[in-house]
Structure 1
Amino acid sequence: MLDITALTKEDAATCPVRSVLSKVTGKWQILIFLALEDESHRFGELKRTVGDITPRVLTENLKSLERDGFLTRTVHSGPPLAVSYELTEMGHSFIKVIKPVVFWAGDNFQSIDAARKKFAS
């Protein structure tokens, strides 16, 4: 098993598991991966597909995923000027790993929701 124990703040800062997972498992990242799974999308298309994400938050997430090598940003000359995003090879390899978790979440949501309601009462 991979050692994920961080005994010090420095250990936590250099833990590869924490470093990567913190960038790909947030509220929006998986939805962005799923939206880009089959084809590239322009910014507006991504925003509509992902849903209630603000333009600022979408931009921040796209920049982070691009910086980490999960997607590429391509500027197309206009007019009008257009920017599209697509998964890299690493992005596609990640989606193969995360999709079973996405399906598991969908399959188990009712049980999880029931447990939450029971806990709250």
Structure 2
Amino acid sequence: MPTETAAEKRAAARLAYDAYLAKCPSRRLLATLTDKWVSLILTALADGSQRYSELARTIAGVSQKMLTQTLRGLERDGLVARTVTVSVPVRVDYELTPLGQTLLPLMTAIKEWAEVHIEDVEAARSRYDSQA
């Protein structure tokens, strides 16, 4: 069995997780992270834990089904933690995990970029549509 150099091991590791490859698991993660509800939920949780109803009020337009489904997916991926407090009624809080916190600067930057540049994008769309 031939011995691999450190450079060859690094090259093999890069190929193991290459989102350009169809079977790469990181591609599935990218598909999750680019969902609009994911980015809005993660940035909504930036200031700390929130109850389900607070998230629903903060994120206008999200249906109960989509919010529940997205929160479950984020919990499964280890980005959001769900805490149930036994009381009447039961209290459920959601917060970013340490892994979710590492993603927050990127998601916040994308959200802020969209808010700052939407007028430029709308103008470009209008120019494009008028030429088509």
TM-score by length of 2: 0.80
- Alignment-derived partner of residue 58 in structure 2: 49
Kindly provide the amino acid, as one letter, of the partner of residue 120 in structure 1: D
> Which of these two proteins has the greater Rg computed from alpha carbons?
2
- Mapped contact 2:82–2:92 kept (Cα < 8 A): yes
Question: 1:52 is paired with a residue of what secondary structure?
Answer: coil
Q: Which runs of 5+ in 2 are unaligned?
A: 1-13
Question: Distance in 2 between the 1:50 and 1:108 partners?
Answer: 20
Question: Distance in 2 between the 1:120 and 1:20 partners?
Answer: 33
Quote the offset at 1:17 in angstroms: 3.2
Superposition RMSD on alpha carbons, in Å? 1.4
* Structure 2 residue 14 is the aligned partner of structure 1 residue 5: no
Question: Distance in 1 between the 2:77 and 2:50 partners?
Answer: 19
Q: Which runs of 5+ in 1 are unaligned?
A: 7-11
Quote the offset at 1:80 in angstroms: 1.2
The size of the alignment, in residue pairs, is: 114
Question: 1:83 is paired with a residue of what secondary structure?
Answer: strand
- Mapped contact 2:43–2:107 kept (Cα < 8 A): no
- Alignment-derived partner of residue 30 in structure 1: 39
Quote the offset at 1:16 in angstroms: 3.4
| CA-to-aligned-CA distance 1:86-117 (integer Å, 9 cap, x gap) | 00001111011222222222221111111111
Percent sequence identity is: 39
Question: 1:36 is paired with a residue of what secondary structure?
Answer: helix
With 23-32 and 65-74 compared, the bigger mean Cα shift is at: 23-32
TM-score by length of 1: 0.86
